[in-house]
Each structure stands twice: as C-alpha cells, then as structure tokens.
Amino acid sequence: MNADRQKSDRAHRSLKACGIAAALTAAAGVLFAPLAKASTLDDVKARGHLVCGVTEDAQGFASVAPGGAWTGFDIDFCGAVAAAVLGRKDAVKYRVVSPSNRIQALISGEVDLLPRANGRTLSRDTEHGIRYVETLFHEGQGFLVRRGYAVASVLELSGASVCVMGGTRAEQALQGYFQSRKMRFELVLQQHWADAAKSYADGGCTLLTGDLSALAAERSRLVNPAEHTILPELIAKEMLGPVVRQGDEQWFSIVRWTLEALIGAEELGIASSNADALRESTNIDVRRFLGLEADLGQSMGLSRDWSYQVVKQSGNYGEIFERNVGVRSPLGLERGVNNLWTKGGLMSAAPLR
C-alpha cells in the first residue's frame, strides 16, 4: 500500500510540475509575443478617412477637376468603400501613385487600397504581398477606326495598316490575331502610345489598337470624335480591380463585398434615386440588402445599413459606369462585357445574404 501511495504521489507531483511549466510557457508567450498590428479597418476608423492610391490623369477613372475635386470610376469606388466603412463617401484622401510605385505604397501602408492596378495574374496575386479582390472593370484590347470605312468588324479590314506600340503585348496580340485568321496587315510601329495615337489622327494608319479605355480617351480628343468608332472585337483581355494587402482578411472582405454590393444593387434594381422608396419593398432580397431584415455588416465590423449607404451615396455599378465612362460621358464606352450577366455581359454579384 505504501509503495502504491508513493507511486501515486510521484505521478501527482509530475503532473503538477508539467502544469506549472505549461502555464509559465504560455505566460512567456504572452509577454514576449510581438504586439498585434492594428487592422486596416481600425486604422481607417481611427484617422476618420480612407487613403486611396490612384493614378493621376486617367480620363474617366481618376482626374482632378479645375476646382480641385477628384472625379472618375476609381474615385467613385473609393467613395463607395468609405461610405461602407465610415458612412460618408467623401471621407477619402487621394494619394497619387504611379505604376512603378503603387504596389510598394500599398504594402508599406501609405495607402489602404488601390481601386485598380495592373491586370490580375497568378504571379501578381501571389508573389508581391498583395491580393486582387474582384473585377471592377473588364479591360480589353480593341480597334479604333474611322466611320468612313463603313465597316462593322475588323474582319472586314484585311490588308489594313495598324498603329501600335512596338515591343508590347499589344503588338504580339495583334500579330497573333491577324495571322491566325490569315489576314494581311501592315504594322505601323511607334515607341510611345502618344505617337501611335498621333499617327492615327494624322491618317498614318487605318486602325489604332490598344486598351478600350485608352482608345476611348484618344477618340474624345480627336477633332470630330463622332467620326470614329470602336469595333466590337476584343483580341486580349485584362481584369482590373481593387487590390489590398495580404494578411488582412477582414479588409479584403470589406472591399470585396462593397464591389459585390454595387453590382448586386444594379441586379436588384436598387439605385441612388430609389433606395429610400424601396425600404417599403416586400422583396426579401431588397430588404436584406437595405439592412432591414438582417445585419450583414456585423461579421465585417460594419454598420447594419452599410450596403444601403453604399448605393444611396455612390449609386449602383451601372450608375457609376455610365456617369464616368458610359455612352453619355466623354469616353462614350458601351457597357459591353461590363454589362450585367443578364444583359450579355460578365458582371454578376454573389448573393448578399
């Protein structure tokens, strides 16, 4: 009996020692662990405004009016995020970044968000400490031509001369497109985009090829923009959208669902002009969107009516598109692939529920 009791006492002391050691280890871990970095949401709320990194003089997307106010597609998206987080779309400060430094500005914390960056690729999304959220704007390489040629498709222009920047993916895509269709063509190579656009304006080529937004911007600067049209073919694509830092899942979700809310509002027929009237709707999806049937902001640290604030203050995706780059804007772009999926486009939203 004494031997058994001694054995039991030794086991008890051993377990007690292990428990004390574990407790000391845990305490040491708390004492010496690095301080947790505040989340982007905490930073934005603490300073009272969002810092958005934008490219200057991007017509239709980010530009400064004579009075100093920023306007454009990117600007409106940043305003939508500010409305979601702070309840005010004007709670944004804009920092000009360039293609060469914008990723570093984001990683270093100088900006909270890039509304658009280079097109999403696997390496860009996984190797640079950043995350692409969703697609805000489907960009594509197209063609600008004079209406006087009376053509509806680039396929009607075998033998055409094409102005393009040399040594770029645009040149490669152009050659691949024409060669795969066994169409004759003449390259008019220029070192800079401005030179390619000038050559087209001066009649030095039949077609100008480049990104749709760039073509639309150049068309708006021509003497008679209405005499030029963008053909329907797209020979390359890029998915442009918001970019955030890796490692902050809460902020990633906020930016993603702000974009989903803009598209989802258009799908549901919710606009800045009718958001208040629709509070009387019996449609459960509309009521949920407006924060009347569920608190969809709680899990992201946002207010119950965050998505209502987004569409009320900034409008839905279609409103933002039309006023900045749509057919009634100086760029005059058709919705095309940026239309809703129900209207032949690629834009669709995951359910807000």
pLDDT per residue as tens digits for the range 36-46: 356 999 999 99
Mean pLDDT of all residues belonging to the chain: 90
C-alpha count within 13 angstroms, C-beta hemisphere, residue 57: 3
Mean pLDDT to the nearest integer, 217-245: 95
Of 208, 165, 157, 162, whose CA–CA distance to 183 is shortest? 157
Report how far residue 324's alpha carbon sits from residue 90's, in angstroms, rounded to the nearest whole number: 17
Mean pLDDT to the nearest integer, 314-339: 97
Report how far residue 51's alpha carbon sits from residue 39's, in angstroms, rounded to the nearest whole number: 14
Task: Give burial (CB, 10 Å; 0-12/13-18/19+) of 168.
Answer: middle
pLDDT digits (tens, 9 = 90+) for 148-158: 999 999 999 99
Least confident of 122-126, 131-135, 265-269: 122-126
pLDDT digits (tens, 9 = 90+) for 43-79: 999 999 999 999 988 999 999 988 889 999 999 999 9
Report how far residue 147's alpha carbon sits from residue 226's, in angstroms, rounded to the nearest whole number: 8
- Percent pLDDT > 70 in the chain is 89
What is the pLDDT, as a whole number, of residue 150? 93
Does position 107 have pLDDT exceeding 90, yes or no?
yes
Phi-psi group of 339: left, alpha or beta (phi > 0 → left; psi -120 to 50 → alpha; rest → beta): beta
Token output for 233 = 């073919």
- Percent pLDDT > 90 in the chain is 84
Does position 292 have pLDDT exceeding 70, yes or no?
yes
Token output for 54 = 């934008």
What is the pLDDT, as a whole number, of residue 32? 33
Is the distance from CB of 153 to CB of 231 less than 8 angstroms?
yes
What is the pLDDT, as a whole number, of residue 66? 85
* Total length of the chain: 353
CA-atom Rg of the chain in angstroms: 27
User: Helix/strand/coil (H, E, C) string of the chain?
Assistant: CHHHHHHHHHHHHHHHHHHHHHHHHHHHHHHHCCCCCCCHHHHHHHHCCEEEEECCCECCCEEECCCCCEECHHHHHHHHHHHHHHCCCCCEEEEECCCCCHHHHHHCCCCCEECCCCCCCHHHHHCCCEEECCCCEEEEEEEEEEHHHCCCCHHHCCCEEEEEECCCHHHHHHHHHHHHCCCCEEEEEECCHHHHHHHHHCCCCCEEEEEHHHHHHHHHHCCCHHHEEECCCCCEEEEECCEEECCCHHHHHHHHHHHHHHHHHHHHCCCCCCCCHHHHCCCHHHHHHCCCCCCCCHHHCCCCCHHHHHHHHHCCHHHHHHHHCCCCCCCCCCCHHHCEHHHCCCECCCCCC
Give the bridge partners for 244, in sequence order. 131
What is the pLDDT, as a whole number, of residue 36? 39
Higher model confidence: residue 23 or residue 326?
326
